[in-house]
Chain A
Amino acid sequence: MPKTLFDKIWETHEVGDGLIYIDLHMVHEVTSPQAFEGLRLAGRPVRRPDKTLATADHNVPTDGTPVAARIKDALSRKQVETLEENCAEFGVPVFSLGSDRQGIVHVVGPEQGMTQPGMTMVCGDSHTATHGAFGSLAFGIGTSEVEHVLATQCLVQKKPKSMRINFVGDLPFGVTAKDMILGAIGQMGVDGAVGHVVEFAGPAVEQLSMEGRMTICNMTIEGGGRAGMIAPDQTTFDYVQGKPAAPTGAAWDAAVATWKELYTDEGATFDREIDVDVTALSPRVTWGTTPDMVVGVDGTVPTPESFDDPAERGQAERALEYMGLKGGERIEDISIERVFLGSCTNGRLADLQAAADVIQGRKVADGVYAMVVPGSVQVKIAAEELGLDKVFTAAGFDWRGAGCSMCLGMNPDVLSPGERCASTSNRNFQGRQGKGGRTHLVSPQMAAAAAIAGHFVDVRTFEPAGEPVAA
């Protein structure tokens, strides 16, 4: 019987009925302390430290704080130090502050070569779906499940339903992976994929870099999906090869032979399937407080009256009030005070390069504070080797240290009440980036252009002012 990519991975990881084996468990400081404490109380070890990898990311300041002991916020310091102590006690490798491999868990896994096709991966973080870009089954879990995986290397899981999102057509000029996923969420709604593992397919996906594929899979959860995945191909293999944990020699050949079988068979069926026409997409900008409240940069903010359903109208009214908008404004007329470039969605080298190309030779608009937060120390080092830090600082951007930063408002990087931000992160929920903060989700190119203009601007008509930064 023809099988989906998801079926193939699921079947090779079933230990028993409703019990699947986990190949890699990524751990961070916020959702793990109670899990380690549970192990300690029960006298249980971590079953497979070699299949576990920890990093500090959510809580870390991005001001260059060199070690956990110097974190000013006492509670944050305690959480990062607790992660270090737990990892030392249970023998789990950890990249904490001071390590040049520290960074956002979903940036670190791929760049260390720990994320490989065909694997099952979990992490106490909903954006774990990111790793599905490599053709793996990766999803977020809660702290009780973190404890369960630490103790057993398995997860109790009923097989989710399957869904395929076909991106139809060729990606137009100036439209990015971020616009593709925001377009898909806008079309299906924030609960459009609930209960499903989503495979993203189509020529536009195949043409994307691994960074672009990670951006798409990362935001699967914003459409309610359990996991997102993309079949591995030569682009995937080329990315993995040579990474620190990638197989070498004969083991590499054996691995690639296995990975080449990871695709959805002709004739395999999905529980649900939708098409998204990418030729109709322009750069996307969210206007509300859920990621499906999104329009093109060439569009206008909808008015509450434009929603027929009373519940939707009420939601739009609340969202507009929170966002300080009336409805009817042209997106390009919306001014911003802050720009955040970073996060597990768009904090990789290719994202920073794309943004740097837009700002090269320009200055950040008066009254705008723009920050760049590399997704990991390794991204930061690579960007500095290319001179990107100089491009950003010359334009007036603040060049920061690695971490989750202003994506989620639990470290010093936050919006003040009422501040409006063009953000490359993944959630525009109320208060997500700081209490009262107003978030508009966009691509790195759109965030960079907004920083220069001081308001949203269509990056497709934003002529380069300088030489391209890097190939």
Chain B
Amino acid sequence: MDPISIIEGKVSDLPRDDVDTDQIIPARFMKRVERTGFGEFLFNDAKEAPDWNVEIGNPILCSGANFGSGSSREHAPWALEDAGFRAIIATSLADIFASNCTKVGLLPIELPEDQVRKIAAAGEARIELDAQTVEIGPTHARETFSFDIAPGTKHRLLNGLDDIGLTLGDEGAITTYEEQRAASAFPGPSSLSLPPQGPDGKTIQSTPVA
């Protein structure tokens, strides 16, 4: 993941609520086993609507409430990122979608509706992650809006860090936790312990037949 510091450029606008992940990328385009190439399917069906007017190729997308609702598919942020977007500014974002964005270097920003509308109307904006600001307007009449972001997420995005590497740094704590759980009265189920034979005597494959 590339580090993010400043995102600057034109703004696309999708001024509606509840833009769900099926609109962002329909499920039938999720059959690839690679991470790349989903951009061409961004808004594949939604863009056929007569009132559709979202410019693709800009770094910033503005939208309404509950953007990214629905499925956990990371294909949605992959498609947005692959199509060139670097930041999503919405009045609110669905939880899993917002989390997924931060894993692929797409900056999720929540701002009040009047500010999102101003940014969309300005048509261009400059986002500074370190300062947590979105700026619009000409130099003599600059407007600045501040957004919130979790400190840990911000640090990771600013430095383009890999979550897994960071967590494996806590290897000692994870191992200690696992040892304590294994020694407890109820260590939890094991998928490897599933019996190989069903109650009706039929063979149950834990690996598929050839």
A residues bordering B, Cβ < 8 Å? Answer: 15-16, 18-19, 21, 23-24, 30-31, 33-34, 37, 42, 44, 48-53, 58-59, 67-68, 73, 75-76, 78-79, 82, 84, 87-88, 92-101, 112-114, 116, 118-119, 124-126, 128, 139-145, 147-148, 151-154, 156, 158, 160, 190-191, 194-195, 221, 224, 226, 244-247, 251, 254-255, 257-258, 290, 311, 314-315, 318, 381, 408-410, 414, 427, 429-432, 435
Contacts and interface: CB of A to CB of B under 8 A. Distances in A.
B112 interface: no
A93 B30 contact: no
8 contacts: A19-B167, A19-B170, A33-B34, A68-B208, A93-B192, A158-B150, A221-B96, A244-B195
Interface string B6-39: 0000000000111010110011101111110000
Nearest to A144: B103
**Dominant SS at the B interface?**
loop
A149 to B, nearest CB: 10
A429 B189 contact: no
B189 A97 contact: no
Interface residues of B, number: 70
B138 interface: no
B92 A51 contact: no
B155 to A, nearest CB: 12
Interface stretch (B53-61, B70-78, B129-137): B70-78
B111 interface: no
B104 interface: yes
A16 B74 contact: no
A116 B72 CA distance: 23
B170 A16 contact: yes
B186 A142 contact: no
Given A31-B73, A142-B77, 8 more contacts: A37-B35, A42-B164, A95-B205, A99-B206, A116-B188, A144-B103, A226-B95, A431-B22
Contacts of A24: 188-189, 191
Nearest to A160: B95
A98 B205 contact: yes
Contact of A53 (B16, B178, B191): B191
B100 to A, nearest CB: 4
